[in-house]
């Protein structure tokens, strides 16, 4: 079994040529793609904000940020952000403790309920809440009015307070998720030893458990804060009718009003910079907290924590939690489904008022809706596929080839993730309306595709790079020593091994694209409406029942895709 | 004309020849001007403390890293030469590699893992099958073709890795810590199997390990590396045990005691807090008037007539031997006594004893 050594005839492969071909090509491709997709839009925002066509100009910027209506909306943004973060933290930590550390029954059901808000796009949730609690004719408001003979509706959700409450309801699971996983990974002996040393239950919670979960709580908090600051859907759905604006909705409104005029574009660019500035402060704080003081006692492996007996409080707490959760999670879904079957919004839910006409109307008669389903499917599929290719290539370049500028590549890829979607959309409009090489994508579906890719590329980068780091170098070197070339090794070993992560990365992009509103609302053209835009416009035009029907369709699509992801990731664990 | 083409008839060709290899990671130089020749048909152990560059040598031979200087030849053919700007890619060097973490591909069956090198050589299915069977026989894994790696134990996975290395190249293997991840019993067994396999096939094996005992047991020749990557000694197991080249080698290959000694008036004294007369004659191998005496715990015996007096500090019974820590002024040394030896008797702690030194060695002393 002695094999002849087939030696490459061209022995002198020159040193400089060593790593060329595939590796070098991939590095160059990554740079080109990232600069096009992320750097150009960001650059254009600054360019427009500070350049009036001939010289650097700060006057417009100053004018915009000191304008009274704009100061008002900055204030709204901050108030909503800070208040909803604080409240979401309280609620999230409470439920995390209840489910992670107490002996409350029915934990499985509650955990399932917590996962539902993640599947419903925020603007749909807001729409549904609006149907219930709108100051003018919300179903719950009307019911309460007739029940207690009130002359005025008891709740008005179209207010700053209303927006805060809905954001809390929608975002507290972020905090819950972070904290509950920290609680589950905490070494129970830390608490047990405090108990043995004579500390009381409440003392242990205050002095041991809470301080140990501070990193998780603060990272959950900042996640909520950043998401809330850049959220478009909820304030747009709830605040528009009452002229309550936040920075993202104001930027969008300015852009709409400007109708393409240079000054209008400059104004929204300037406001975008303000928003980016506020969000970056939050991000910087987050970075600081992440690097500082991580507690090592929270271990990676899961342990059985010591459960606290609730005794007499058990069933009252259970009842409270179930009512609370079903109110905030189940009620909006039920509401939206009910409205989708009603003949006209506002009619009571009686048998004679129910109909399937709304579904027929959106699917048969409405070209806009049919287009939007097609567009969203096309956009989600293409964006997910391109992100998959680009993100995996990027992960490979950053973590396996490790070129000199690897950190720059990573930062460029993650940059849009920290930019509010509204800002990214403005950047895309500025960059792709003929500013570079005369390429005009505005009003076409392609500009939305570019924006989606920029926004969600980092999702695939994260999942693929985590998987790639699991692929030990020796697995690839083994293939090389078995006679496989670099390219063959990639094809035979590396890619098959990270395939499960790539598939889930695909859906990680596909799902948010399907329900996207923030960027699409700025970028859509007459023929490139997305599902989100279609629902939003139906709603704005007063066609509330058809909007609900389309929402139900969207939610169903999302739930189906979500279950596909779950099935795939479960397979991965088994294999 | 390329050097690889000039192979003179009758001249013995080294299996592997490394010449003046220099490798550094950033500022940190791992190998400096490293040269080594490996003869065909034997197991060459490369042994050294962790971080000394053993694995770097293997990776340079395989072509996974590019040295900054030097030449790598396999079978007389240049695989890498900085001067001539030659760098054959790993897939064309035809070396079977066995990694410490097995590196069996988890997504391929045992058969596909082992057949992979043959598929890359574009052999037909009919040619591949018997070779895979043969490789499986060599590692006692016939019948496991359809298993996935996750269904196998660590030892079985390592056998698959060896079988795969054999189909890749049956005449030259590099094994990098192949048994470190296995339990003690299995390690012993794998060593025997690797030895038998090598004898059957006449394979040249480079065996890299930090475990000097395994190396002594398995290898025909051993290179011991110092921590800075330089060669401390090359030799057979016997040569290395009998004639350790320096203090590092002596210390590395077994438990050892070191006692500073000094020569005064033609007599040798222990140079401790108090000078103790050790021998009245100078040993011919002493490097100078000041030296370091090295001795294995087994080579010290209790002898009541000896002038070297000490106190037993601690005594531990290990089943087949006694392990003592014995106190000399300012120093504790280790003494081991086999239970079966005739004068073995149990000494209790704080008992005064006399010590006789059977086979001591002398090394350079740093403060000499």
Which among B78, B90, B121 has CB closest to A481? B90
What does each C-alpha distance from B19 to B11, B54, B73, B74, B365 come to in angstroms? 18, 16, 8, 12, 32
Chain A residues in contact with B197 by the CB 8 A cut-off are none
Which residue's entry shows tokens 């389903």? A373
pLDDT band at residue B147 under the 50/70/90 scheme: very high
Q: Token pair for residue A385?
A: 């596929």
Question: Is the CB of residue A513 less than 8 Å from the CB of residue A314?
Answer: no
Chain A residues in contact with B161 by the CB 8 A cut-off are 478
Element (DSSP H or E) covering residue B325: strand B321-328
Percentage of chain B lying above the pLDDT 90 cut: 30
Would an 8 Å CB–CB cutoff place B4 in contact with chain A? Answer: yes
Are B91 and A8 inside 8 Å of each other by CB? no
Are A483 and B63 inside 8 Å of each other by CB? no
Would an 8 Å CB–CB cutoff place B359 in contact with chain A? Answer: no
Pairing of strands B172-176, B204-209: parallel
Q: What is the DSSP letter of A352?
A: G
Best of B3, B94, B166 to mutate (most A CBs within 10 Å, chain A):
B94
Are A483 and B121 inside 8 Å of each other by CB? yes
**DSSP state letters, A403-465:** -TTHHHHHHHHHHHHHS-HHHHHHHHHHHTBTTTTT-B-TTSHHHHHHHHHHHHHHHHHHHHH
Q: Coil, helix or strand for B273?
A: coil
DSSP H stretches of helix in A292-347: 314-325, 331-340
- A 10 A CB-CB count for A452 gives 28
Q: Kindly list the residues of chain A whose beta carbon comes within 8 Å of any beta carbon in chain B.
A: 1-3, 5-8, 11-15, 18, 472, 474-475, 477-486, 488, 492-493, 496-497, 575
CB pairs under 8 A between A and B: 106
Question: Is the CB of residue B254 less than 8 Å from the CB of residue B224?
Answer: no
B8 pLDDT above the threshold of 60 = no
Of A201-205, B113-117, B140-144, least confident by mean pLDDT is A201-205
Of A149-153, B34-38, B82-86, B324-328, least confident by mean pLDDT is A149-153
SS3 of chain B: helix, strand, coil, percent, to 5: 25, 35, 40
Q: What is the DSSP letter of B192?
A: H
Question: Is the CB of residue A238 less than 8 Å from the CB of residue A124?
Answer: no
pLDDT band at residue B10 under the 50/70/90 scheme: very low
Best of A19, A483, A484, A497 to mutate (most B CBs within 10 Å, chain B):
A483
B205 pLDDT above the threshold of 90 = yes
Chain A residues in contact with B164 by the CB 8 A cut-off are 478, 482
Chain A's closest residue to B112, CA to CA, is A492
Phi, psi angle pair for A329, to nearest 5°:
-105, -50
Are A484 and B99 inside 8 Å of each other by CB? no
Are A14 and B85 inside 8 Å of each other by CB? yes
Q: Token pair for residue A38?
A: 């992320």
Chain A residues in contact with B134 by the CB 8 A cut-off are 1
**pLDDT at res. B7:** 41
Question: Is the CB of residue B53 less than 8 Å from the CB of residue B227?
Answer: no
DSSP H stretches of helix in A149-200: 160-185, 188-196
**Nearest to A483, CA basis, from B58, B179, B63:** B63
Phi, psi angle pair for A95, to nearest 5°:
-70, -35
Chain B residues in contact with A485 by the CB 8 A cut-off are 89, 91
Give pLDDT tens digits along chain A (575 positions): 333 333 333 333 433 344 457 788 888 999 999 988 888 888 888 888 887 777 777 887 888 888 888 889 899 999 999 999 999 999 999 998 888 888 888 888 888 888 787 778 888 889 999 888 887 778 888 888 888 888 777 888 888 999 999 999 888 888 888 888 888 777 777 777 888 888 887 888 888 888 888 888 888 888 899 889 988 989 998 888 888 899 899 888 888 887 767 777 888 888 888 888 888 888 888 777 766 555 545 444 545 666 777 788 888 989 999 998 888 888 888 999 999 998 888 888 888 888 888 888 888 877 888 888 899 999 999 999 999 999 999 999 888 888 887 788 888 888 887 788 888 898 888 888 877 777 778 788 999 999 999 999 988 888 888 888 888 888 999 999 998 888 889 899 999 998 888 888 888 888 889 888 989 998 888 888 999 999 998 888 888 888 999 999 888 888 888 787 777 766 654 44
Are B62 and A477 inside 8 Å of each other by CB? yes
What does each C-alpha distance from A307 to A189, A489, A505 come to in angstroms? 12, 49, 35
**pLDDT at res. A9:** 35
Are B101 and A474 inside 8 Å of each other by CB? yes
**pLDDT at res. A2:** 37
Residue A246, Ramachandran bin (φ over 0: left; ψ between -120 and 50: alpha; else beta): beta
ipTM of the complex, rounded to two decimals: 0.81
* Cα distance between residue B134 and residue B127, in whole Å: 12
What does each C-alpha distance from A50 to A55, A232, A260, B12 come to in angstroms? 8, 25, 18, 76
Would an 8 Å CB–CB cutoff place B121 in contact with chain A? Answer: yes
* Cα distance between residue A250 and residue A270, in whole Å: 12
Q: Token pair for residue A257?
A: 């009003």
How are strands ordered across the β-sheet holding B221-225?
B96-98, B172-176, B204-209, B43-47, B221-225, B231-235
Chain A residues in contact with B93 by the CB 8 A cut-off are 481
Which residue's entry shows tokens 């409470």? A94
Chain A's closest residue to B150, CA to CA, is A575
**pLDDT at res. B5:** 35
Q: Coil, helix or strand for A11?
A: coil
Question: Is the CB of residue B322 less than 8 Å from the CB of residue B315?
Answer: yes
**pLDDT at res. A11:** 36
**pLDDT at res. B3:** 37
* Cα distance between residue A425 and residue A364, in whole Å: 31
Helix A68-101, helix A59-66: angle, nearest 10: 60
Who contacts B138 (Cβ-Cβ below 8 Å, separation ≥6)? B162, B163, B166, B197, B200, B201
Would an 8 Å CB–CB cutoff place B88 in contact with chain A? Answer: yes
Pairing of strands B43-47, B231-235: unpaired
**pLDDT at res. B155:** 87
What does each C-alpha distance from A178 to A88, A175, A186, A217, B77 come to in angstroms? 12, 5, 13, 7, 59
Would an 8 Å CB–CB cutoff place B77 in contact with chain A? Answer: yes
Longest dimension (CA), chain A: 97
Chain B residues in contact with A18 by the CB 8 A cut-off are 66, 87
Chain B residues in contact with A497 by the CB 8 A cut-off are 105-107
Per-residue model confidence as pLDDT tens digits over B292-328 = 889 999 888 888 888 888 889 888 888 788 888 998 8
**pLDDT at res. A136:** 75
Phi, psi angle pair for A564, to nearest 5°:
-60, -45
What does each C-alpha distance from B21 to B24, B56, B89, B93, B230 come to in angstroms? 10, 11, 17, 18, 11
Chain A's closest residue to B3, CA to CA, is A11
Phi, psi angle pair for B52, to nearest 5°:
-90, -5
Per-residue model confidence as pLDDT tens digits over B332-357 = 899 988 877 665 677 888 888 888 88
**pLDDT at res. A306:** 67
Torsion of CA A204, A207, A213, A219, to 10 degrees: 150
């Amino acid at each position: 079994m002695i094999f002849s050594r087939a030696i490459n005839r061209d022995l002198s492969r020159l040193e400089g040529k060593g790593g060329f071909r595939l590796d070098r090509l991939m590095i160059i491709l990554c740079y080109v793609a990232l600069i096009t997709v992320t750097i150009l839009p960001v650059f254009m925002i600054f360019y427009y904000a500070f350049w009036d066509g001939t010289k650097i100009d700060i006057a417009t910027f100053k004018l915009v940020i000191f304008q009274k209506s704009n100061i008002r909306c900055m204030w709204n943004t901050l108030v909503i952000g800070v208040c909803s973060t604080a409240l979401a933290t309280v609620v999230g930590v409470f439920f995390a403790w209840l489910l992670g550390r107490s002996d409350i029954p029915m934990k499985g059901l509650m955990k399932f309920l917590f996962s539902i808000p993640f599947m419903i796009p925020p603007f749909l949730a807001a729409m549904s809440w609006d149907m219930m609690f709108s100051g003018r004719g919300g179903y719950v408001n009307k019911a309460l009015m007739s029940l207690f003979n009130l002359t005025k509706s008891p709740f008005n959700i179209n207010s700053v307070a209303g927006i805060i409450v809905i954001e809390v309801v929608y975002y507290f699971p972020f905090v819950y998720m972070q904290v509950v996983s920290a609680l589950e990974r905490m070494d129970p002996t830390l608490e047990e030893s405090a108990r043995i040393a004579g500390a009381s239950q409440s003392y242990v919670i205050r002095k041991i458990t809470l301080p140990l979960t501070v990193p998780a709580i603060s990272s959950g908090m900042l996640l909520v804060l950043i998401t809330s600051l850049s959220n478009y859907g909820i304030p747009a759905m709830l605040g528009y009718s009452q002229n309550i604006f936040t920075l993202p909705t104001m930027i969008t409104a300015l852009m709409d009003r400007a109708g393409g005029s240079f000054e209008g574009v400059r104004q929204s660019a300037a406001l975008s910079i303000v928003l980016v500035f506020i969000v970056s402060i939050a991000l910087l704080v987050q970075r600081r907290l992440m690097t500082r003081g991580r507690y090592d006692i929270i271990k990676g492996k899961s342990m059985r924590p010591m459960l606290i007996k609730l005794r007499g409080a058990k069933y009252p707490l259970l009842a409270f939690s179930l009512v609370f959760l079903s109110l905030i999670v189940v009620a909006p879904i039920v509401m939206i489904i009910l409205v989708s079957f009603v003949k006209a919004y506002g009619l009571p839910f009686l048998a004679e008022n129910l109909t399937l006409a709304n579904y027929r109307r959106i699917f048969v008669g409405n070209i806009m809706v049919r287009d939007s389903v097609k567009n969203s499917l096309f956009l989600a599929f293409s964006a997910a596929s391109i992100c998959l290719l680009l993100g995996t290539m990027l992960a490979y370049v950053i973590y396996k080839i490790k070129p000199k500028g690897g950190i720059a590549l990573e930062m460029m890829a993650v940059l849009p993730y920290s930019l509010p979607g509204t800002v990214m959309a403005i950047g895309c409009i500025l960059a792709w309306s003929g500013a570079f090489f005369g390429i005009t994508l505005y009003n076409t579906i392609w500009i939305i595709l570019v924006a989606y890719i920029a926004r969600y590329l980092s999702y695939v980068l994260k999942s693929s790079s985590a998987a790639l780091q699991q692929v030990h170098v020796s697995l690839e070197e083994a293939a090389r020593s078995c006679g496989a070339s670099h390219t063959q090794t990639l094809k035979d070993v590396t890619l098959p091994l990270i395939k499960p992560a790539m598939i889930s990365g695909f859906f990680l992009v596909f799902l948010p694209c399907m329900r996207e509103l923030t960027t699409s609302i700025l970028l859509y053209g007459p023929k490139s409406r997305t599902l989100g835009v279609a629902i939003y416009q139906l709603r704005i035009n007063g066609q509330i029942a058809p909007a609900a029907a389309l929402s139900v369709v969207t939610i169903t699509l999302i739930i189906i895709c979500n279950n596909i992801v779950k099935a795939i990731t479960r397979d991965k664990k088994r294999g | 004309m390329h050097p690889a083409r000039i192979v003179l008839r009758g001249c013995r060709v080294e299996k592997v020849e490394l010449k003046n290899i220099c490798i550094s990671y950033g500022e940190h130089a791992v190998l400096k001007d490293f040269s080594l020749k490996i003869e065909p048909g034997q197991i060459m152990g490369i042994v050294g403390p962790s971080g000394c560059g053993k694995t770097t040598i293997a990776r340079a031979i395989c072509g996974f890293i590019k040295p900054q200087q030097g030449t790598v030849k396999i079978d007389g053919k240049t695989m890498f030469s900085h001067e001539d700007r030659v760098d054959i890619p790993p897939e064309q060097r035809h070396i079977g590699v066995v990694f410490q973490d097995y590196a069996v591909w988890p997504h391929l069956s045992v058969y596909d893992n082992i057949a992979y090198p043959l598929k890359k050589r574009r052999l037909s299915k009919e040619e591949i099958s018997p070779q895979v069977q043969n490789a499986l026989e060599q590692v006692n894994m016939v019948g496991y073709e359809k298993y996935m790696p996750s269904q196998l134990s660590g030892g079985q996975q390592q056998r698959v890795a060896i079988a795969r290395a054999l189909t890749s190249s049956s005449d030259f293997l590099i094994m990098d810590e192949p048994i470190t991840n296995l339990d003690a019993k299995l390690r012993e067994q794998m060593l025997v199997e690797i030895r038998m396999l090598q004898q059957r096939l006449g394979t040249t094996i480079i065996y890299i390990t930090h475990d000097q005992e395994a190396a002594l047991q398995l290898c025909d020749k051993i290179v011991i590396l110092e921590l800075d990557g330089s060669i401390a000694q090359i030799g057979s197991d016997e040569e290395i045990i009998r004639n350790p080249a320096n203090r590092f080698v002596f210390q590395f290959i077994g438990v050892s005691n070191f006692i500073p000694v000094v020569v005064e008036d033609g007599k040798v004294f222990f140079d401790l807090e108090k000078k103790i007369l050790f021998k009245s004659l100078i040993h011919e191998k002493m490097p100078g008037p000041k030296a370091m005496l090295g001795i294995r715990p087994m080579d010290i015996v209790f002898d009541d007539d000896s002038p070297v007096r000490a106190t037993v500090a601690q005594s531990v019974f290990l089943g087949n031997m006694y392990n003592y820590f014995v106190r000399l002024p300012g120093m504790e040394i280790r003494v081991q006594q086999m239970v079966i030896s005739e004068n073995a008797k149990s000494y209790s702690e704080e008992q005064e004893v006399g010590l006789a030194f059977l086979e001591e060695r002398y090394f350079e002393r740093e403060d000499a």
